[in-house]
Structure 1
Amino acid sequence: MDKLSFVIPCYGSETTIDIVVNEIITTLRQRPEYDYEIVLVNDCSPDQVWTRIRALALADPHITGINLAKNFGQHAALMAGYRHCTGDLIISLDDDGQTPACELFTLVDKMKEGWDVVYASYAHKMHSGFRNFGTFMNERMTESLIGKPKGLRVTSYFIMRRFIADEILRYENAYPYIEGLIFRATRHIANVPVTHHERMVGESGYTFGKLLGLWFNGFTAFSVKPLRVATFCGTASACIGFCYGLYVVIRKLVDTSIEMGWSSIIASIFFLGGLILIMLGMIGEYIGRIYISINNAPQYTIREVISASTDSTETARRETP
């Protein structure tokens, strides 16, 4: 019997997490041959979602609750959930009801064709314009820097095999980026269409700053292409500067009456200075993340794990794989 594990990062979902969990359980009753577990990870949500998770976990032995000590981000919360689940197939979905749990067997049945990972794809996404722009930028970034196949749609609703999760968990540093870890492990990935639901309450927790941080996690941890771009830009700027210098000298030799202006010099200094600072900042970002990794910064810190099957909790421990 295959066991399905559902890993759900929770943030600001006090009023929706019960609905999502009930939808999963109701859908699973259609296929009683599947065993299952649900792992709910509270990413230090400011509302009372942990209270709801505790109640769900104590009432149902299939549910495990994990409470993180601070907000580490969605991808770190997923890593925490993956380390605590035991299923043969692992399904990740959102806590706000937009990812349709009622269509989970659409993903499961697609996996039977032999795929390693299957992402849900949406014909019409019920996100704001800002989130859709963020998704567009993330798609372009993963294509150009991480090697995502063109045409593949990456979403937060996906299913993967156990061995892919085990490979992902080999990543032991801070700043995890799930898509990068998946593309590093396999290219046998497919899409399956599902319906995207309206958000039940509130707005997305992803601000521009969080999206920018997520993109930085992706390209600094899994690609050196930005450094190669920096090398190319530096080389191109040096060549342009050398050619311009030759042009100025030759022009002065041909026409000695030409006065050399400061405006072009100042403009060149500002351009080259700004370019240098950008490249130094990029290199510094890489070095800073290397420094943090060397210092063994944790992916997440677990305050408490609760489950009715053990009726016990683990408190305040630092999780470093």
Structure 2
Amino acid sequence: MAATTTLSIVCPAYQEEDVLPLFHAALAAALEPLAAEYALEILYVDDGSRDRTLEVIRGLAAADPRVRYVSLSRNFGHQAALTAGLDHASGDAVVSLDSDLQHPPALIPTLVARWRAGNDVVLTIRADDVRLSWFKRFSSRLFYKILARFTDLDVRPSASDFRLLSRTALDGLLRLPEAHRYLRGMVQWLGFRVAEVPFSPEARRAGTSKYTLRRMVRFALDGLLSFSPAPVRLAVGAGLAVTALSWAVTSAVALASLSFADSHLALVLVALTGGHTVAAGALLAIGVLGEYAVRIYEQVKGRPVYVLKESTAVVQNPALALPARTRTARAA
């Protein structure tokens, strides 16, 4: 009897030509126990790679009838690539994981079991990875502490984008039209029943990490600005602190300058310094407000989250994408 329940696996990839064959072999082995019960769909997303990633994915699709793929016109970023995959996933449940093998495919049957137990969202919680730099571990902890302090979202500090969503949860997620997408927060905002599965990240088998400091900062800003007024509150607090410090320094120097011969010049210099300090605090607050204004401007323009270049998958949610040149998709 043919399986009536479909399980989709969404795998974004950017410049991963070396690791993709290894990843696909590990994924196929992990899905083998589920093959008798589920119709399986493997959906790769090429995020505008400039190497042979798309060529390798085409080869996987030619060799494995379960494979579909979409290719974006340029590099739109990890969260946009994930969104593209989720838009095209047709499964009753959808698992997303990175294709660099740091998210272990062997954990997928466990996620499916938690879903079958009645959970609409199954998160994976990353164990502390001592191979990461102290800066990355420290900045990550600081970011989640700020997010927890200034928002009502219960975003786990070690949650990853390796997760399972039921079709109900996924349909709810795809109704959210944010241009700047922080999927971890968006999934938590939905409010569905959540289960958690811990995992230890694996070492990369090939290739290098594409998560640069710039991408980390952009990701953190998307999380803070999309779900928290923390930057505005911090800017206001910093402005008040700077103003108070400026007045304190000005008063102290003014009192000390009374004993100087040229006290008027000292007072002028203190006033200028205080004015510059207050202006710096004001510019900080204006900059934060400007960042919110820019994001509102980008949102109201209504541009798609991504643009497709090529696809063998049928889009399930056309609202967030521009169409692609479509190749004929083979039946699974």
| Shorter-chain TM-score above 0.5 | yes
Larger deviation, residues 276-285 vs 263-272: 263-272
Alignment of 1:267-278 (within 5 A): 267-278=273-284
1:21 partnered with 2:27: no
Instruction: Give ranges in structure 2 of 5+ residues lacking alignment.
Output: 315-322, 327-332
1:186 corresponding residue in structure 2: 191
1:281 corresponding residue in structure 2: 287
1:315 corresponding residue in structure 2: 325
2:110 aligned to which of 94, 106, 117? 106
Instruction: Give ranges in structure 1 of 5+ residues lacking alignment.
Output: 317-321
Cα deviation for residue 239 of structure 1 reads 6.3
Larger deviation, residues 66-75 vs 272-281: 272-281
The AA in structure 1 aligned to 2:9 is F
Q: Deviations over 1:216-256 (max 9, x none)?
A: 111222222322333444455566777888x68x979xx98
Distance 1:82 1:207, change over 3 A: same
Given that residues 38 and 62 in structure 1 are in contact (C-alpha distance below 8 angstroms), is that contact kept between their aligned partners in structure 2? yes
2:330 corresponding residue in structure 1: none
Alignment of 1:294-309 (within 5 A): 294-306=300-312
Alignment of 1:107-186 (within 5 A): 107-125=111-129, 127-129=131-133, 131-149=136-154, 153-186=158-191
Q: Distance in 1 between matches of 2:304 and 2:13?
A: 19
Cα deviation for residue 134 of structure 1 reads 4.8
Q: Deviations over 1:245-286 (max 9, x none)?
A: 8x68x979xx98784633543332232121111111111111
1:4 corresponding residue in structure 2: 7
Q: How many residues align?
A: 309
> Per the alignment, in what secondary structure is the counterpart of residue 16 of structure 2?
coil
Distance 1:121 1:180, change over 3 A: closer
Q: Deviations over 1:105-138 (max 9, x none)?
A: 1222233443332222233426431543454344
Q: Distance in 2 between matches of 1:282 and 1:79?
A: 27
Given that residues 96 and 200 in structure 1 are in contact (C-alpha distance below 8 angstroms), is that contact kept between their aligned partners in structure 2? yes
The AA in structure 2 aligned to 1:268 is G
Q: Distance in 2 between matches of 1:25 and 1:141?
A: 39
Alignment of 1:145-294 (within 5 A): 145-149=150-154, 153-186=158-191, 188-235=193-240, 259=263, 261-262=266-267, 263-294=269-300
Cα deviation for residue 141 of structure 1 reads 4.3
2:329 corresponding residue in structure 1: none
2:317 corresponding residue in structure 1: none
Distance 1:295 1:122, change over 3 A: closer
> Per the alignment, in what secondary structure is the counterpart of residue 159 of structure 2?
coil
2:58 corresponding residue in structure 1: 54
The AA in structure 2 aligned to 1:193 is P
> Per the alignment, in what secondary structure is the counterpart of residue 30 of structure 1?
helix
Q: Distance in 2 between matches of 1:53 and 1:225?
A: 41
Distance 1:122 1:143, change over 3 A: same
2:83 corresponding residue in structure 1: 79
The list of structure 1 runs, each at least 4 consecutive aligned residues, that deviate by more than 6 angstroms after superposition, is 239-245, 255-258
The AA in structure 2 aligned to 1:125 is D
> Per the alignment, in what secondary structure is the counterpart of residue 24 of structure 1?
helix
Q: Distance in 2 between matches of 1:154 and 1:3?
A: 25
Q: Distance in 1 between matches of 2:93 and 2:131?
A: 28
State the TM-score, normalizing by the size of structure 1: 0.84
Distance 1:82 1:238, change over 3 A: same
1:63 corresponding residue in structure 2: 67
Given that residues 57 and 306 in structure 1 are in contact (C-alpha distance below 8 angstroms), is that contact kept between their aligned partners in structure 2? no
**What value does the CA root-mean-square deviation take over the aligned residues?**
3.0
